[in-house]
Amino acid sequence: MTTLREYLDGTKCDKDLKDLIELIAKQADPIRGAFITNQKYVDSKNIYGETQMELDKWSNERLKKVLGESGLIKELASEEEDDVVKFPSARGNYAVTMDPLDGSSLIQVNLCVGTIIGIYDNGKVMQAGKNMRAAMYILYGPMTILTLTVKEGVHIFALNEKKEYVMLIKDLKVPEGNLYASGAIKKEWLPKHRAFIDYLENAGYKLRYSGSFVADVHQILKYGGMFSYPAFAGHEKGKLRLLFEANPLGFIMTQAGGRISDGARDILSITPEKVDHRVPIYIGSKTVIDKAEQMLK
């Protein structure tokens, strides 16, 4: 079976990018381990007597530390940081956006959560998603898997018992499918979004919504259909964030033949106005996102 490094060695990635991807992928093990050793919700101290952080903060600190020490990145933008973190003395010229632990409220109920990563190659994070050099997410589910694109297709790797990533699915393409998910409270949906969801339901689409963006989008990537977190009453920009959530998963979906839109335009073309820029999201199979844009116009 092809390992992650073997796969990367066959791509156009330079050594720094390969090392960066592997370094992030390696953090799956300690992050997953912290689910048990750092259960803040169970007690205020962990089994080692240390004061505990929320797991999303813990994952943020862990990733920030290893990325900073690597010397590979000039900038880091994280959902858990108010500002861009800079590493001016870094040797490398990559930049990373991350949601260290997306869907973290689901850990307490043992549902699927994940780490979402976007990688740029010109040292800057505040730019349109289409400029990304690579994107990936780690899903902590029954298996620990890594979905990766370096603009040479989308591939899924699984962490085996030797703590090695081996390729599970090569060159994944999103099928048409018939699943849908929509966030926000139904009575707060805006009329055009409601009409679009009615259209999907009448067309036989089936609801699948877990409350973890990365897990819900992973399901759509594999089975096809659409995930939305729309604009809703009083929240015209929706809930999810452009840099950390929309862009990396949109980049992967697009590389797999699908699309991501805010209802009017390709999200990957949006230049971020601020680190926590929010955006309404429609992501999934191409024809259903085309239809969303047509109905939301």
Compare residues 134 and 181 and give the one whose CB is closer to ligand F6P. 181
Tell me the number of residues near ligand F6P by CB under 6 A: 7
**Does the protein bind ligand F6P through residue 92 (CB under 6 A)?**
no
Two tokens, residue 236 = 């015209």
Rounded Cα gap, residues 183 and 213, in angstroms: 9
In the shown chain, the binding pattern of residues 86 to 125 toward Mn ion, with x for contact by CB under 5 A and - for none, equals: -------------x--x-----------------------
154 neighbors 172 (Cβ within 8 angstroms): yes
Compare residues 92 and 183 and give the one whose CB is closer to ligand F6P. 183
- Which of ligand F6P, Mn ion, none binds 248 (CB below 5-8 Å, type-dependent)? none
Nearest distance, CB of residue 25 and ligand F6P, angstroms: 21
- Which of ligand F6P, Mn ion, none binds 211 (CB below 5-8 Å, type-dependent)? ligand F6P
**Does the protein bind ligand F6P through residue 7 (CB under 6 A)?**
no
DSSP per-residue letters across 145-201: EEEEESSS-EEEEEE-TTS-EEEEESS-------EEEE-S-GGGB-HHHHHHHHHHH
Rounded Cα gap, residues 250 and 267, in angstroms: 8
Rounded Cα gap, residues 223 and 129, in angstroms: 24
Rounded Cα gap, residues 38 and 52, in angstroms: 6
SS3 state at 243: helix
Q: Which helix (H) or strand (E) holds 75?
A: strand 73-78
Site for ligand F6P in 165-184 (CB under 6 A): 183
Site for Mn ion in 132-191 (CB under 5 A): none
Q: Which helix (H) or strand (E) holds 253?
A: helix 247-255
In the shown chain, the binding pattern of residues 99 to 128 toward ligand F6P, with x for contact by CB under 6 A and - for none, equals: ---xx-------------------------
SS3 state at 22: helix
In the shown chain, the binding pattern of residues 183 to 202 toward ligand F6P, with x for contact by CB under 6 A and - for none, equals: x-------------------
Identify the residue among 30, 68, 153, 211 touching ligand F6P (CB under 6 A).
Answer: 211
Compare residues 150 and 252 and give the one whose CB is closer to ligand F6P. 252
Two tokens, residue 253 = 């979906």
- Which of ligand F6P, Mn ion, none binds 183 (CB below 5-8 Å, type-dependent)? ligand F6P
Binding site for Mn ion (CB under 5 A): 99, 102
Binding site for ligand F6P (CB under 6 A): 102-103, 183, 211-213, 229
